Amino acid sequence: STVTDATPIKVPTLPDAQTVLSVKHWTDRLFSFRVTRPQTLRFRSGEFVMIGLMGDPDPKTGKQKPLLRAYSIASPSWDEELEFYSIKVPDGPLTSRLQHIQPGEQIILRPKPVGTLVHDALLPGKRIWFFATGTGFAPFASLLREPQTYEDYDEVIITHTCREAGELDYGREVIESLKTDELLNEVIGDGFWKKIKYYPTTTREQSPKMGRITDLMKSGECFSDLDVPVLCPETDRAMICGNLAFNLELKDMLESYGLEEGANSKPAHYVVEKAFLD
Ligand code: A2P
C-alpha cells in the first residue's frame, strides 16, 4: 500500500463555515462571540446576516439541514473579524445549542448581508438617536464603531433599556472601548467619543436610571437628562432595534414628532428593525 504524504489543509466541514475565535458570557441570558470573516464578505455597519448550526438529522431521511437565524453583525464594517451578540433561550432551537459554542468550533454564516439600519437610509441630520432594548444593541455596537457615524453627525445618542442592570454590560463595554479605539481616534480625531451621549435604563432591577425609554421620553425626563430638545424632523435622525412592542410604540412616537420612516431606496428620518429572538 502507498502512504501519501498529505499536507494538512483546513477544510471547512460545514457549508459557509466560519471558525469561532472567542466567546464571552455576559449574564446567564446573554453572550457574545467573534468568528472569522469570509474574505469576500462586504457589509455596511448595521446590517445582519443569517448564521446558525447544522440541525439534528431528520428522523426519516437522516439528512441534516442548517438551522439559521438573522443576526445583526455587532462589529463594524472595517473589522477583520465578525462579532455577534445573542440571547440564550433555554428551549430556543438555535440558541439552546449556540450558547455552548467554543473557540475552534464552526458556525454557518451565509455571506449575504442585508438590513435597514444603515446610514444610506437616512437623510443628513445634526443628531442621531440609536434606540435599543435587550440584544437590539447589536447593530449599534457596529454603528458606534463606524467612522461614518461621527462624520455624518454632531451628536450621537444611544439609549438602551433592559430588564436587569447586568444586561447593560456588553453595551457599556463597547462604548467604553471607543475611547481607546485607535482607528476611530485616528480617522475621526481625538475626543470624537465626546459626541456620544449614553442613556442606559432598567425596568426590573434597580439602576441609576429606571424606566422604559418610551415612558422617559413621554414624561420629558429623558430630554432634560440629556439636555437636548424633543426630536424633530429638521435635526434628528433615529434607528430603532428592540422587541416588537417596543419598535411599534417608539415608531408611533417618532411619527408624532413628525419624523418619517426611511428605506435604502428612499432615505428619510428614521428606520426600524426587530431584534432577533430564537
Ligand atoms: P419591561 O420590563 O417593562 O417589559 P424584553 O427582554 O422583554 O425584550 O424587554 C427588554 C426591555 O424592553 C425591558 O426593559 C422591557 O421593559 C422593555 N420593553 C418591552 N416592551 C416595551 C415597550 N413597548 N416600550 C418600551 N420598552 C419596552
Q: How far apart are CA 123 and CA 149, in angstroms?
A: 13
Q: How far is the CA of 80 from the centre of ligand 1 (A)?
A: 33
Question: Which residues lie below 8 Å from residue 36, measured CB to CB, with a gap of 6+?
Answer: 18, 19, 21, 81, 82
d(CA 200, CA 129): 13
Of 91, 114, 137, the residue at which a domain comes to its end is: 114
For the chain, the domain total comes to 2
Site to probe by mutation for ligand 1, drawn from 201, 212, 241, 247 as the one with most ligand atoms within 8 Å of Cβ, is 212
Q: In angstroms, what is the span from residue 122 Cα to ligand 1's centroid?
A: 26
Type of residue at 175: I
Task: Mark whether 81 and 134 lie in a shared domain.
Answer: no
Domain that includes residue 202, residue range: 119-274
Write out pLDDT tens, residues 212-236. 999 999 999 999 999 999 999 999 9
In three-state secondary structure terms, 109 is strand
Q: Is residue 12 part of a domain?
A: no
Helix or strand (DSSP H, E) at 188 = helix 182-188
**CATH number of the domain that residue 175 is part of:** 3.40.50.80
**Atom of ligand 1 at shortest distance to CA of 215?**
25
CA of 109 to the centre of ligand 1 (A): 29
Q: What number of residues does the chain have? A: 278
Cell output for 209: 436610571
In a domain, 2, yes or no: no
Pocket test for ligand 1, best of 27, 85, 133, 219 (most atoms within 8 A of CB): 133
Expressed in angstroms and rounded, the spacing between residue 209 Cα and the centre of ligand 1 is: 15
Q: Is the pLDDT of residue 1 over 80?
A: no
225's CB contacts (< 8 A; 6+ apart) are 199, 209, 216
| Residues at CB less than 6 angstroms from ligand 1 | 133-134, 161-163, 203-204, 212, 214, 242-243, 245-246, 249
> pTM of the predicted model, to two decimals?
0.94
Whether residue 183 lies inside any domain: the answer is yes
Residues 170 and 269 in one domain: yes
Indicate whether 43 belongs to any domain.
yes
ipTM over 0.90: yes
Q: Nearest Cα to 275, choosing from 168, 139, 183?
A: 139
- Residue 263, pLDDT score: 94
Among residues 60, 92, 114, which one ends one of the domains?
114
Place of cell 440564550: 88
Residue to mutate, 86, 95, 203, 215, ligand 1, most ligand atoms under 8 Å from C-beta:
203
Q: Which of 62, 91, 114 is the last residue of a domain?
A: 114
The candidate with the shortest Cα–Cα distance to 264, out of 120, 162, 100, is 120
Q: Give per-residue burial for 64-87: e unless 16+ CB within 10 Å, then b.
A: eebbbbbbbbbbbbebeebbbbbb
77/198 same-domain check: no
What are the tens digits of pLDDT across the range 14-53?
679 999 999 999 999 999 999 999 989 999 999 999 999 9
Residue 229 CB-half CA count within 13 A: 9
Q: How far is the CA of 277 from the centre of ligand 1 (A)?
A: 13
Domain co-membership, 108 together with 191: no
Shared domain for 62 and 133, answered yes or no, is: no
The pLDDT value given to residue 13: 63
Ligand 1 center from residue 242 Cα (angstroms):
8
4: in domain: no
Instruction: Summarize pLDDT for 108-129 with one digit per residue, the tens.
Output: 999 999 999 999 999 999 999 9
Residue range 183-215, pLDDT digits in tens: 899 988 888 888 999 999 999 999 999 999 999
Of 28, 86, 209, 243, best ligand 1 pocket probe by most atoms within 8 Å of the beta carbon: 243
Residues 30 and 129 in one domain: no
Helix (H, G, I), strand (E, B) or coil at 153: coil
